[in-house]
Amino acid sequence: MKIKKGFAIKLIDVSKKYILHHEKPTLVENIFRFRRKEEIWALKDINLEIKKGEKIGIIGDNGSGKTTLLKIITGITSPTKGELGVNGRVAALIDLEAGFHPELTGEENIYLNGMLLGMSKEEIKQKFTDIVKFSGLEKFIDTPFHTYSSGMRLRLGFSVAAHSNPNILLMDDEAIFLGDRKFQNKIQDKIKDFYKLGKTVIIVSHWLEYLEKNSEKVILMKDGEIKKIGIPKSTISYYKNTRFSKKIQYY
C-alpha cells in the first residue's frame, strides 16, 4: 500500500480474527471429528494514519486489542482482512525473547536477532559493543542463551531492538518496566533519544500518567475498536470516566 508523504503507518479497515478451539471434546465430538470452536475478532475495521515522528500512546482495558494492533503493525501477525502500509524499519519491543535460539550464545543471538530485524551483518558488527554494554551482559555474552535468566533474555532483546536504528518504535509495559531501576532509567534515556531523532514512537501502556506526559496523541481502544483519538489529557480523562461509569460494568 502506498502511504502519503510524511506518514509512517496507515491501516484501512484492518480486522483480525482468532479461532478458539474449546478443550475436552465429548465422545460424540471425537467420533464425528468436530470440536466446538469460537470466533473472536480481536480487531474490527481499524482505520488509522500515523505521521512520521508522532508520539502515540494506546490505552484500553485488557483484551481491547492494543497488543494485537502492535503485532499487526510490526508484522508478527497478519490481518484477517484490510490493508496495512508501513514506511520504514520497525523495531517492536514486545515479545522480546522472540527470534533467539536457546542453544546459541548471546553473541550469536545478537547477530541472529539483528538480521531478523533487518540489520546487515556489518551494521551489527559496528554496534555489537554498544548492544552488549547497554544490556549489561558483558560477562555472559559467550554463554548459551538457555542459561540466561528471564530478565537477562529480555534485556538482550531490548538492547538489540533499540540499536537496530528503527524509523518506528513499538513498545509496551514489558519494555518500560524491564529490569531494575538503573536499567529502567537507561530505557527512558533511550526513548528520549528516539524522540530527539524524530522517530515515530507508539507505546501501549496502563501507565496513564506517563502517556499523558510523553504522548502527542492517545488512542483509546475497546472491544477491538478505536473509540477515541485525541490529545492525551482529554482522552485519558474520558477513559477514566467511562471506565468507572455506572453505565458500564466490568467483571
Total residue length of the chain: 251
30 occurs within a structural domain: no
- Cα 52-71-73 angle, rounded to 5 deg: 30
The CA-to-CA distance between both ends of the chain, in Å, stands at 40
176 shares a domain with 242: yes
Residues 2 and 44 in one domain: yes
The reported pLDDT for the residue numbered 178 is 87
Total domains in the chain come to: 2
Task: Report, as ranges of residue numbers, the positions in the chain whose pLDDT lies below 70.
Answer: 21-36, 244-251
Round to whole Å and give the CA distance between 232 and 220. Answer: 10
Cβ–Cβ < 8 Å for 220, 60: yes
Query: What pLDDT is recorded for position 94?
Result: 79
Tell me the CATH number at 155: 1.10.8
Reported pTM: 0.84
Q: Are residues 179 and 251 in the same domain?
A: yes
Residue from 216, 167, 203, 211 nearest 52 by CA: 167
